[in-house]
Amino acid sequence: MSSVEKSWRHWTRTSDWIGLVSFGFFLIALAVVWIITPNFSGEIVDFVNDFHPANVSENIVFYAPQSPHPILYTALMELCIIGGIFQIVILMFRIAYHEPVRKKADSISSIGFSFSMAFFFNWAASVISASVGWFGLLAGLIFSIGLSMVLSSVVKLLR
């Protein structure tokens, strides 16, 4: 057996094929959301160009969009829902193929992150005040990251 064959066999045994499928599905889902959302590219450009300083308190200034962007937030919510559903399917495959607990915990963590961000994107799309929606979305991102870390840790602890 040549060194190339040994290297290939080692790579196929150690690669996360399910993770690669998951990433590929994410790219496909992103493309589909991009196609079905009217003027998605323009919405992204408008969102980035809309950032201006906003007073959080008397002495604290952060950048925030000046106007709400419900079309962009709704598209991102749809992407998160699609991703969360697909992560449930990935978790079923990881269980069926007896993958390590670490990879199952990663999938559960991704499910929690995807659905919690979908909730916050939905909320931000419905808020009338742009700065309240933006800062609430940032708080939701911090919450979702924390939830993801807690879910992963709990699954690893309970194995």
pLDDT digits (tens, 9 = 90+) for 63-93: 989 888 999 999 999 999 999 999 999 999 8
HSE-up of residue 88 (Cα within 13 Å, Cβ side): 8
CA angle in degrees (0–180, nearest 5) for 66-78-97 = 140
Q: For the whole model, what pTM was predicted?
A: 0.84
14 pLDDT exceeds 80?
no
Q: Are 143 and 122 in contact (CB under 8 A)?
A: no
Q: Rounded distance, CA 75 to CA 121, Å?
A: 9
132 pLDDT exceeds 90?
no
* Closest to 26 (Cα-Cα) out of 90, 93, 96, 92: 90
Residue 130: pLDDT band with limits 50, 70, 90: confident
List beta partners, residue 55: 61
Assign residue 54 a region: left if phi > 0, alpha if psi is -120 to 50, beta otherwise? Answer: beta
Percentage of residues in the chain with pLDDT exceeding 90? Answer: 62
Residue 20: pLDDT band with limits 50, 70, 90: confident
CA-to-CA dists, residue 122 to 56, 68, 93, 97, 152, angstroms: 23, 12, 29, 34, 24
36 pLDDT exceeds 70?
yes
